[in-house]
Amino acid sequence: MKKIKLSYIGLALAVTVMMFAGCGKVTDGNENSSAAQSQQEVKEDKEDKEEEVSITLLNTKSELVEQFETMAKQYKEQTGVNIETVFTSDVVSTHLAEKYASGNTYTIMMVDRPDVYDFQEYLLDLSDEKWVPDGGSAYGVTIEGKIYSFPMLIEAVGLLYNAQVIEDITGKEFVWSDYNTIDKFRALLDELVQGGLENPVAINKEDWSLANHFFGQLYNQQGNSAEGSQKFIDSLKEGNTKLADDKRFNSLMDSFDLLADYNINKADPLSAEYDMNNTCFAEGDVAFWFNGSWATEVYEKTDKIGMMPLPQSDAAEGVNDKLISGASKTLVIDKQYTTEDQQQAAKDFLNWLVYDEAGQSFMVDDCSIIPAFANINKEVAAPLSVSAQKFIQNQATEFWYQTIPGDHGTEVGAMLQKYLSGGIDREQLASEVESYWAKQK
Amino acid sequence: MEKRKLGSVIKYAVLTLLLLIYIFPFFMVLINAFKEKADVIKNPMALIGKSGFILSNFREAVRKMDFFRALGNSLLITGSSTLLIIIISAMAAYIIARKNWMACKLFHVLMILSLAIPFQVLMIPLVSIYGGIFHMLNYRSTLIFMHLGFSVSMSCFLFHGAVKSTIPLELEDAAAIDGCGSFKIFFQIVLPLLKPTIVTTVIINTLNLWNDYLLPSLILGDSKLYTLPIATRIFYGAFSSDLGLILAALVLMILPILALYLFLQKYIIEGVVAGAVKG
Amino acid sequence: MNKKEPFLHKSLLFVGFAGPAVFCFMLVMVIPFIYGIYLTLTSWNGISADKAFVGFENYTAIFQDVQFWNSLGLTILYSAISVVFINVLAFGLAYLVTGGMKGQNFFRAGFFTPNLIGGLVLGYIWQFIFSRAMVSAGNYLNIGFLSTSWLSDPGKALAALIIVSVWQYSGFMMLIYIAGLMSIPKELLEAGIIDGCGKGQSLRYIILPQLNSSFVICLFLSITRCFMTYDLNLSLTNGGPFGSTKMAAMYVYQQAFVSKNYGAGQTEAVVLFLICAAISIAQVYIGKRNEVNA
């Protein structure tokens, strides 16, 4: 009997000791957090030659996880600064909200443009950085005259095409500008159908794709400028725009209907998962996929992949020749919980990306990023990015309005899903979108 | 005789059919973990994908998620938390069940009510207090402490029921008359009799803690501390996920818990039977 | 036990036994909860350092939030159906596998396995099954209602949620019912047989009443879990198609973190908790009144 009692206590003690031993070893790994409070940890730091600076970087692109880790090692050898890269697939703003609430955040964070506005009070002002005139002011986020973000990469939204599949059927080389009106495009689709490709188009079902990318074109194509888009949004909020009568709205929905007609998932459009469409596109089951330049796994069968603007019936402002693009992911530096050394190290890192050969090579060659900076002359390798880059280099781009509200994806996305599956008609869609905007402050 | 046999056959048939339906998802996970991603998407029901039976998903998964380190973390956290939960919950449940004091009644009610609290309500306040004010985050021991806090209500609840209904008061009274103090009574008489409930509680807590993603992801920032569920999230991209890898990681994650469950199966039955015979 | 114990002795006993558990519970659940309530009195957006105090504004605003009440109604519907099926199935399975039949351990282990997979992953697997596996099987075998993904239709998506919940929780509840069944004193059953009870009567008059406490526990657990469903909701349907299966917990979460109305979202979460607690307590109270004392 006594043995039982002793063994229980013994076990509990052993475990408690184990616990503290276990967490003791890890305290060393905690050096990157709120530096002001962790003086003790800095003392226990093993690598204490001089004051070695350590910064953390939050990466939110799962395709780039390995590249960032390799780069961090390289950067350490080159400059002696330790960058710890962390990846999360959680929604960035929620993740960062938790981090800031817990007083422990990253030095550099890769966020989406709207996040810069939300977190602005915690971010470092980068207006005086060297790279601002080289692309920072054009592509970064400016709030009240100050620049808070470093445009990490440029992405484009539009119609992806699998030139190989098209050429196999039409027998001639595919040049996108030959089909940049809705009628020529429709004719091509018919030709593909007759050639055996029963449903040449893939449409995503995901709410962010339908609402933020496809429907977002409505906000983007308003004078090709931030002011133009903002004016349009403001008039929606005030209820001054009747979408059902709006030319751009109808033009976009005409194209949407066209794509939906030839949709490979027509029988059940809401089951069309991104991965499924990706595979269909890569394997040549469809020729066109409305998506963006970030699709990296589409080269399984052919390299002849490119992208083009969505052909529309209303060609005002040259929308049929301009590809919507913008800096979607940006880097920001925290000023709330970092030391001056860390902030400087972070700024140095950004400069390294833009001006150092190794940094440029990391962005363009390793990550296949289309850079936002005019001084970088490297050519990106991935065919989709090459295709998008041509538009950018020819100044044939359309503004990408990215400061839509956080719930635009879920709310308007739901409405578009209803439309896609035939639940509501165009007029109802118009009025539902209008009520959404009327609710926004 | 015939009737009983027929009844028996029907019983087996129904049970087997139900069992197949219950196990079917695991079967799907298993066969698809050995396929290439494209095969998983295009032809999920096929036993073997067009590209054949591959082991690379497992190798990749182990490498990318730093599997063994995450496994170690999960084992440490789940193991120590469960052990501590059992001990402190059983003790608390004992005193709450036996004594009629205000404090006992109060906490009993509070703990039961807390079972209905959604985690969202506590999420941000929790990290604000323990991170923002006390800077206790990013330690595994903090996580263990929080697991205790969240799990005692349920475990106390189970032990309370067991003490009230299966431990005869006479035994304790007899021991008290013999001069045993409360602690002695608890550890030498009551606790051994609670074996079936202990086993059940071990299983329930181990399962909860092993698979818990949200709380550990909030507390543990350093990747060296990640538990298995957090490590697995690396395969979920913003737009798409590598299904083959995810499924392989899932299989790896389930194996230890499955082993534990099969091992404990014996004890549940033994324990429950012992309880029934004595009761 | 002894009538008058000195207060010091009582306190020491209480702290000694319940101390650690109460300590952890208070610090991890109660205090953050109180802080959480404080936050419902602010208009915080979840991010800013500025938490403006607004009193009970959030609470009065709830009455105008139609979507919240819709999602609550949906949650109640879903919970009611799920709880019934979970418990009926769990009890049925428990009854079948405690007769002393061959291989019952095997069956018990099998039915419990759904609990081995946690939250999000469970949903992803079933989403995979509903939208890929079943569809491909349906197309292959030409079964109409399986050929399109159940998750694209609001009614079927809700059915899918219910099916997965039942699949997930019935094994767990089965365990509780088994323990309950096995603790019924053999003498009672034997007395029933001597008195001439058939299987059905035995079930109705002896077994079910004895299982009252198991019912109370299982109902309590299944009601609270179904009411607060979030992980499964997120990974199986993500509130879709077009928001038709957005349960209360998901709606509240999105309010707080996606729409950046943390104060409002937190308030709705608290109200949700109160409603759930009220329902559960009512159920436990009714159950306790019917209890047969052993």
What would the mean pLDDT of C219-245 be, rounded to a whole number?
88
CA-nearest residue to A272 within chain C is C131
What letter represents residue A161's amino acid?
Answer: Y
What would the mean pLDDT of C182-192 be, rounded to a whole number?
80
**Band of pLDDT at residue B247, cut at 50, 70 and 90:** confident
Does residue B55 lie within any of the structural domains?
no
User: Cα–Cα distances in Å, from A202 out to A310, C128, C154, C240?
Assistant: 13, 20, 23, 20
Q: B11 or A332, which is more confident?
A: A332
CA-nearest residue to A2 within chain B is B188
pLDDT at A63: 80
Contacts of B37 in chain A (CB under 8 A): 275
Does residue B274 lie within any of the structural domains?
no
Q: How far apart are the CA of B165 and the nearest CA of chain A, in angstroms?
A: 23
What would the mean pLDDT of A195-221 be, rounded to a whole number?
91
What would the mean pLDDT of C163-183 be, rounded to a whole number?
86
Q: How far apart are the CA of A405 and the nearest CA of chain C, in angstroms?
A: 8
Taking the Cβ of residue A269 and every Cβ of chain C, the question of whether any pair is shorter than 8 Å is answered with yes
Inter-chain CB proximity B128 and C35 less than 8 Å = yes
Q: Could you tell me how many CB contacts below 8 A there are between chain A and chain C?
A: 67
* Most confidently modeled range among B64-73, B81-90, B133-142: B81-90
Which domains does chain A carry?
Answer: 49-155+327-384 (3.40.190.10), 156-325+387-439 (3.40.190.10)
**For the whole prediction, is pTM greater than 0.80?**
yes
pLDDT at B269: 54
pLDDT at A33: 40
pLDDT at C210: 78
Does residue B36 lie within any of the structural domains?
no
**Band of pLDDT at residue A23, cut at 50, 70 and 90:** very low
Residue-wise pLDDT tens digits, C79-117? 999 999 999 999 988 888 887 777 777 888 888 888 888
Taking the Cβ of residue B242 and every Cβ of chain C, the question of whether any pair is shorter than 8 Å is answered with no
**DSSP, residue by residue, chain C:** --S---HHHHHHHHHHHHHHHHHHHIIIIIHHHHHHHHHTTB---SSSS---B-TTHHHHHHTT-HHHHHHHHHHHHHHHHHHHHHHHHHHHHHHHTTS--TTHHHHHHHHHGGGGS-HHHHHHHHHHIIIIIHHHHHHHHT-GGGSS-GGGSHHHHHHHHHHHHHHHHHHHHHHHHHHHHHTS-HHHHHHHHHTT--HHHIIIIIIHHHTHHHHHHHHHHHHHHHHT--HHIIIIITT-STTTT--HHHHHHHHHHTS--HHHHHHHHHHHHHHHHHHHHHHHHHHHHTPPP-
Distance separating alpha carbons of residues B124 and C44, to the nearest angstrom = 12
Taking the Cβ of residue C67 and every Cβ of chain A, the question of whether any pair is shorter than 8 Å is answered with no
**Band of pLDDT at residue B38, cut at 50, 70 and 90:** confident
Inter-chain CB proximity C249 and B120 less than 8 Å = yes
Taking the Cβ of residue C8 and every Cβ of chain B, the question of whether any pair is shorter than 8 Å is answered with no
What range does the domain containing B75 cover? 65-235
Inter-chain CB proximity A29 and B140 less than 8 Å = no
- Torsion on CA atoms B211, B217, B221, B222, rounded to nearest 10: 20
Q: By the 8 A CB rule, do B77 and A6 touch?
A: no
Closest C-alpha to A89, from A132, A124, A59: A59
What would the mean pLDDT of A167-176 be, rounded to a whole number?
91
Write down the mean pLDDT value for chain A. Answer: 85
Distance separating alpha carbons of residues B163 and B168, to the nearest angstrom = 8
Q: How far apart are the CA of B87 and the nearest CA of chain A, in angstroms?
A: 8
Contacts of C186 in chain B (CB under 8 A): 276
Taking the Cβ of residue C191 and every Cβ of chain A, the question of whether any pair is shorter than 8 Å is answered with no
What would the mean pLDDT of C218-237 be, rounded to a whole number?
90
Residue-wise pLDDT tens digits, C140-170? 777 767 777 888 888 889 999 999 999 999 9
Taking the Cβ of residue A72 and every Cβ of chain B, the question of whether any pair is shorter than 8 Å is answered with no
Q: By the 8 A CB rule, do C83 and B212 touch?
A: no
Q: How many CB atoms lie within 10 A of CB C252?
A: 28
pLDDT at C239: 83
Does residue B153 lie within any of the structural domains?
yes
CA-nearest residue to B251 within chain C is C117
Q: Decide if pLDDT at A18 tops 60.
A: no
Chain A interface disruption, residue of B64, B76, B135, most A CBs within 10 A? B135
Inter-chain CB proximity C254 and A269 less than 8 Å = no
Does residue B260 lie within any of the structural domains?
no
The CATH number of whichever domain residue B146 belongs to comes to 1.10.3720.10
Strand partners, A308: A159
pLDDT at C199: 76
pLDDT at B71: 93
Q: How far apart are the CA of C197 and the nearest CA of chain B, in angstroms?
A: 17
The B residues from 54 to 83 touching C (CB cutoff 8 Å) are: none
Chain C interface disruption, residue of A102, A203, A205, most C CBs within 10 A? A205
Prediction ipTM score: 0.85
pLDDT at A51: 62
Taking the Cβ of residue C60 and every Cβ of chain A, the question of whether any pair is shorter than 8 Å is answered with no
Does residue B188 lie within any of the structural domains?
yes
The A residues from 369 to 408 touching B (CB cutoff 8 Å) are: none
Inter-chain CB proximity C240 and A270 less than 8 Å = yes
Which domains does chain C carry?
Answer: 85-98+106-294 (1.10.3720.10)
Locus of tokens 């306040």: B125
- Of A350-359, B31-40, B147-156, least confident by mean pLDDT is B31-40
pLDDT at A19: 45
What would the mean pLDDT of B170-186 be, rounded to a whole number?
84
Chain B interface disruption, residue of C9, C23, C29, most B CBs within 10 A? C29
Residue-wise pLDDT tens digits, A401-429? 988 888 898 889 999 999 998 889 999 99
CA-nearest residue to A69 within chain B is B64
Q: By the 8 A CB rule, do B151 and B85 touch?
A: yes
- Chains near B (3 or more Cβ pairs under 8 Å): A, C
Does residue B118 lie within any of the structural domains?
yes
CA-nearest residue to A277 within chain B is B41
Taking the Cβ of residue C171 and every Cβ of chain B, the question of whether any pair is shorter than 8 Å is answered with yes
Residue-wise pLDDT tens digits, A265-324? 888 888 888 888 888 898 889 999 999 988 877 888 888 999 999 999 988 888 899 999
Chain B interface disruption, residue of C2, C9, C10, C22, most B CBs within 10 A? C22
What would the mean pLDDT of B1-17 be, rounded to a whole number?
80
pLDDT at C203: 78
pLDDT at A35: 38
DSSP type of residue A28: G
Burial tier of A77 (Cβ tally within 10 Å: 0-12, 13-18, 19+) = exposed
Of residues A94, A121, A270, nearest to C241 (C-beta): A270
Inter-chain CB proximity C132 and B116 less than 8 Å = no
Contacts of C234 in chain B (CB under 8 A): none
Does residue B165 lie within any of the structural domains?
yes
Write down the mean pLDDT value for chain C. Answer: 85
Chain C interface disruption, residue of A208, A265, A271, A435, most C CBs within 10 A? A271
Give the number of domains in chain B.
1
Q: How far apart are the CA of C26 and the nearest CA of chain A, in angstroms?
A: 20
